[in-house]
Amino acid sequence: MKRSRLVYVMFVCLALLLAACATKRKISSNSIPIGPLSTLKSGFAIVPDSIQTSTYWYWISDNISKEGVIRDLESMKKVGINRAFIGNIWQDDVPAGKVKIFTDEWWEVLHAALKKATELNIEIGIFNSPGWSQSGGPWVKPEQSMRYLTSTKLHVKGPLKLNQKLIKPEGDFQDVKLIAYPVNSDFAGDIFDRKPLIKATPAIEGINRIMDHNDTTGVIFKKEDTYRIDITVNKPYTVRSLVITPNRSAMTITGQLQVMKNGMYTTIKHFTVDRSNTELNVGFMPYGPAAFAIPATASKSFRLLLTKFSGNSGIAEVKLSAVPAVENYIEKTFANMWQTPFPYLDAYQWGPQPLIDNKETVIDPVKVVDISNNMNANGELKWDVPPGSWVIERSGMTPTK
User: Which pLDDT tens digit goes with each residue over 88-103?
Assistant: 888 888 999 999 999 9
Asked whether the predicted pLDDT for residue 21 surpasses 50, the reply is no
What is the C-alpha separation between 346 and 334, in angstroms, rounded? 15
**pLDDT in the model for residue 223:** 72
Q: pTM, whole model, 2 decimals?
A: 0.69
> What is the per-residue pLDDT for 128?
73
Tell me whether strands 290-309 and 314-321 are parallel, antiparallel or unpaired.
unpaired
Q: Do the beta carbons of residue 221 and residue 173 sit within 8 Å?
A: no
Q: Please give the average per-residue pLDDT across 79-88, as a whole number.
A: 91
Coil vs helix vs strand at 62: coil
Query: What was the pLDDT predicted at 7?
Result: 37
The answer to whether 337 touches 331, Cβ cutoff 8 Å, is yes
Average pLDDT of every residue of the chain: 86
Given a cut of 50, is residue 31 above it in pLDDT? no
Is residue 364 pLDDT above 80, yes or no?
yes
Q: Sign of torsion, CA 317 320 321 326?
A: positive
The pLDDT of 189-211, averaged and rounded, is: 95
Min mean pLDDT across 128-132, 208-212, 215-219, 246-250 is at 128-132
More confident residue, 238 or 282: 238
Q: What are the two backbone dihedrals, phi and then psi, of residue 213, each rounded to the nearest 5 degrees?
A: 60, 30
pLDDT of 26 > 60? The answer is no
Q: Among 120-134, 267-281, 337-351, 355-369, whose mean pLDDT is lowest?
A: 120-134
Is the pLDDT score of 4 beyond 70? no
Show the beta-strand stretches assigned E in 166-214: 174-183, 197-201
Q: Given CA atoms 283, 287, 289, 292 in this order, what sign does their dihedral have?
A: positive
Residue 133: pLDDT band by 50, 70, 90 thresholds?
low
What would the 3-class secondary structure string for 94-106 be? CCCCCCCCCCHHH
Would you list the DSSP string of 378-396? T-EEEEEEEEEEEEEEEEE
At 259-316, the pLDDT tens digits run 999 999 999 999 999 999 988 878 889 999 999 999 999 999 999 999 998 888 999 9
Decide: 289 and 325 in contact? Cβ < 8 Å. Answer: no
332 exposed, middle or buried (CB, 10 Å; 0-12, 13-18, 19+)? Answer: middle
> What is the predicted pLDDT for the residue at 186?
85
DSSP code at position 281: G
pLDDT of residue 132: 54
Per the model's pLDDT, the better-predicted residue between 83 and 142 turns out to be 83
**Residue 193: pLDDT above 70?**
yes
Q: What is the pLDDT of residues 37-78, one digit of tens each?
A: 777 788 777 767 677 789 999 999 999 999 999 999 999 999
